[in-house]
Structure 1
């Protein structure tokens, strides 16, 4: 299968060429507007882990805490006291989970490389967060459906990822220089996700999307 024939990893819709540089192709779904890198151009698991190991996020880094506040604050404002949550894709420094714990919420963490606790994926939660995670997902449609299946009625899924703007900005975008970033979400993509799964959608700033699962 050529790059141009790759189906969308979010909705399986047809794709068209969007951008190309010296390293990778970028395709855009005709249904949901997701821009993605075709699977044959993804890094190997070993190369991906080696790149993650170059990141310098730390639990005691005040700059990292300020960054995570962009997701923490709007999520915490919407949660009843005593809510339980999962930080999905927490990475090697699960600071976001620690921030929710400090605020009185019960937290679990999961990361396929750094905290591969399969039992955490067998529970249900009042909220789930994914900070700088969704752009790494090779199969976002499958992963989003799994996360929503773990979310209790009335719960929230909070996603922090830089949003796609337009083709001109994309060509110069620092986000595409990270070789582990393979999916790029537009506002229209989040609206598609909300409509497909019957969710309410709110945007908080340029890189946070809040998806609410209606109560039964």
Structure 2
């Protein structure tokens, strides 16, 4: 199969289109991986789509070792997760009432669950990976259930916030997952989704696509997937990127626009031009990335070296950094 070839396929879940264009035939590490874009809407995915049972088995046992190099996170990875969790909590806590019920789907090593629990919320998580789920429970003492969404014991209408932080792109069936979550949310409940944004990526195609990301979203395709599952963005500004706070859709909401043939063409051109090895090399991005990575690693070593344990590091970072729940009227709870 050649890059640029147009191939027939089963109807797209997003738009019903049956034509795909091949964007890449190799993924990260030069692994054989065919990535295609739907010519009708711009949704990018693996071709063929993987078997859901194989996906579940991979995430339960092999994913973290393959992508993070261990059965549990290294201290620097926990530090990155803690910093991200604090920032995410700072954004979401003001939207919630005190004691709100929060579920983090794909909880990883438990940092966000711990931060939200420390902030006064009733927080728990679901994590498919056995090692990371065990680490979360041992290290932070949080309620993180090991397993997939299908095994989660969640009562209908019982949650005020569900979060999917860099999770949706890994799921075999994002539509099924979002429909399930819609049933879990209480009236007025919120959904937070963050995924990588394919639009405007300045990487080689071989580093852009990899086996763990079954789907590659843009703001337009992510908003439309959420819409089809019954969600709309909380504000219009949320549609500008692929980090979105969503609520249940209202009858008078307008569907999101932009997931169309023009987006598909734009992505095909982007991957073929800025994603070429020569263009990437001439952009200077490889040097900038290495310099940035070196700076980050030095800073992380300094922070990690100050603490005897991951839990002590977490508590030190959280001192004075915990967000306050305010409720949607903006009044502190």
What's the TM-score once normalised by structure 2's chain length? 0.54
CA RMSD of aligned residues (A): 3.3
1:154 maps to which residue?
A: 188
- Give the whole-Å Cα distance in 2 for the aligned partners of 1:86 and 1:193: 21
Matched, 1:82 2:104: no
| Residue pair 2:101, 2:160 contacting (<8 A) in 1 also | yes
Matched, 1:34 2:43: yes
Q: Which of 1 and 2 has higher RCO (CA within 8 Å, sep 6+)?
A: 2
Aligned to 1:104, what secondary structure does the other structure show?
A: coil
1:211 maps to which residue?
A: 246
| Residue pair 2:21, 2:38 contacting (<8 A) in 1 also | no
What's the TM-score once normalised by structure 1's chain length? 0.80
Aligned to 2:213, what secondary structure does the other structure show?
A: coil
After superposition, give the CA deviation of every residue in 1:122-145 in whole Å (9 maximum; x if it has no partner).
442100001111110111111111
- Give the whole-Å Cα distance in 2 for the aligned partners of 1:10 and 1:69: 33
How far apart are 1:99 and its partner, in Å? 1.0
| Residue pair 1:122, 1:150 contacting (<8 A) in 2 also | yes
How far apart are 1:108 and its partner, in Å? 2.2
Q: Which moved more, 1:126-135 or 1:109-118?
A: 109-118
Q: Which moved more, 1:103-112 or 1:199-208?
A: 199-208
After superposition, give the CA deviation of every residue in 1:52-72 in whole Å (9 maximum; x if it has no partner).
234263688322211233432
Counterpart of 1:140 (choices 159, 174, 177) is: 174
Aligned to 2:199, what secondary structure does the other structure show?
A: coil
- Give the whole-Å Cα distance in 2 for the aligned partners of 1:21 and 1:86: 37
Structure with greater proportional strand content: 1
- Give the whole-Å Cα distance in 2 for the aligned partners of 1:32 and 1:155: 29
Counterpart of 2:86 (choices 58, 69, 77) is: 69
Paired positions, count: 212
1:102 maps to which residue?
A: 118
Kindly report which structure 2 residues correspond to 1:41-60, keeping only aligned pairs within 5 A, or say none. 44-45=54-55, 46-48=57-59, 49-54=61-66, 55=68, 57=73
Change (3 A) 1:151 1:13: farther
Change (3 A) 1:198 1:30: farther
- Give the whole-Å Cα distance in 1 for the aligned partners of 2:166 and 2:119: 21
| Residue pair 1:8, 1:36 contacting (<8 A) in 2 also | no
2:199 maps to which residue?
A: 165
Change (3 A) 1:13 1:95: farther
Structure 1, gaps ≥5 residues long: none
Change (3 A) 1:170 1:26: farther
Q: Where does structure 1 differ by over 6 angstroms across 4 or more consecutive aligned residues?
A: none
How far apart are 1:85 and its partner, in Å? 1.1
How far apart are 1:164 and its partner, in Å? 1.6
Change (3 A) 1:20 1:215: closer
Matched, 1:121 2:154: yes
| Residue pair 1:10, 1:139 contacting (<8 A) in 2 also | no
How far apart are 1:28 and its partner, in Å? 2.3
Structure with greater proportional helix content: 2
After superposition, give the CA deviation of every residue in 1:183-204 in whole Å (9 maximum; x if it has no partner).
1111101331344325234439
